[in-house]
Amino acid sequence: MNISIVNELKCCFNVTTQHAQVPLTFVILYAPVIILTVCGNLLVVISISHFKQLHTPTNFLIFSLATADMMVGVMVLPLHFISKSICFHVSKILCYVCLLCTTNVTFVSIYNVSLISLDRMYALSNPFQYSNKVTAKRMSTIIYMKWSISFCYNMTFVYFNGPATSDMLCLGECSATAKNLWSVIDLMLVFVLPCSVIMVSCMKMFAIARKHAKNIRRAKGQHISRNSKYGHIVPKASERKAATTLGILVVVFVTCLLPYFIFVAMSSFIPDQIIGDVLDGSLTLLYINSTLNPIIYALFYPWFRTCVKIILMLRIFNPNSSLINVLEKCS
């Protein structure tokens, strides 16, 4: 069974009737999404790279995720939206480059989320060992290896599954179709493995957080006359907030990712009349995840809101602005 993988882009075949509608449609519907994706993730990248207090292993993973999401906004979303209305003729080499960019940033985004869930699970289950074993240097090495492995895998995938024709193609016709063993490998590596890691990590995190909450309530019951209300609510609220933030990030991620891979699994059963629309909708939802991530950071990370205020007020150009205590300001 042949299945289309993450990089499928649908091309319009009636150029003359839709070309006049492109500017207005693009500006009203698509441009705001692209701008929000690029600017939102750019703010995350600037915040973590500029403020030294945010140079932590976990934030390096968020930095990597924001970088991949920003690249989705810069390269993938414009091509995806424009190819819905215009047929841009591209050579085989340019087609392969576009496919590699699309598959690579999508692959990296998926594994960034899985690594973030693993990082938080290990920090919660081994708090005393975490600071010694998970250092900034080791995390930087892991991120570098992840990007390198992703590039090598996707370059190999595109080489063996890209379009075989040497003729000029519409950008929307430039697609890679996984065949036979490649379809199984890609499904396992891009969806099954990272999603399994995410689910297992989240379940273990919630189990640990629940155990901690029970211990706090038990200690509060035994020492109710000597315990302050503030002293016990803070750890419990902190654990709940961390679990909730990661949980929302994962739920949004899986919600955006799942429809596409359901389409991949069921593509042979979908009528030809609607398969293009289903593919287009599932791909759009997959890419929109990169738009939603900065919104989640803004809602649930006070340090990000503080950094955005400092950046927009241009205070980052002040001397020693990188040493500002952004965590204290948002506490």
Mind listing the pLDDT tens digit for each residue in 12-67?
333 333 443 445 666 677 888 899 999 999 999 999 999 999 999 989 999 999 99
The rounded mean pLDDT for the chain is 78
Q: What is the pLDDT of residue 43?
A: 93
Percent of the chain, pLDDT > 70? 78
pLDDT tens for each residue of 193-211: 988 888 888 888 878 777 7
**76, 100 Cβ separation under 8 angstroms:** no
pLDDT tens for each residue of 56-108: 998 999 999 999 999 999 988 888 877 776 777 777 788 888 889 888 998 99
Backbone angles phi, psi at 177, to 5 degrees: -115, 115
Class of domain 3-329: mainly alpha
**248, 296 Cβ separation under 8 angstroms:** yes
| Listed residue (115, 113, 121, 146) closest to 253, CA to CA | 113
- Element at 177 (helix H, strand E): strand 177-178
Radius of gyration (C-alpha) of the chain in whole angstroms? 22
Torsion of CA 174, 39, 255, 235, to 10 degrees: 150
Percent of the chain, pLDDT > 90? 21
Euclidean distance between the first and the last CA atom of the chain, given in angstroms as a whole number: 54
Contacts for 309 with CB less than 8 Å, ≥ 6 apart:
none
**149, 114 Cβ separation under 8 angstroms:** no
Torsion of CA 57, 61, 62, 67, to 10 degrees: 130
234-248 average pLDDT score: 58
- Number of helices and strands in the chain (H, E): 14, 4
pLDDT tens for each residue of 253-267: 888 888 888 887 777
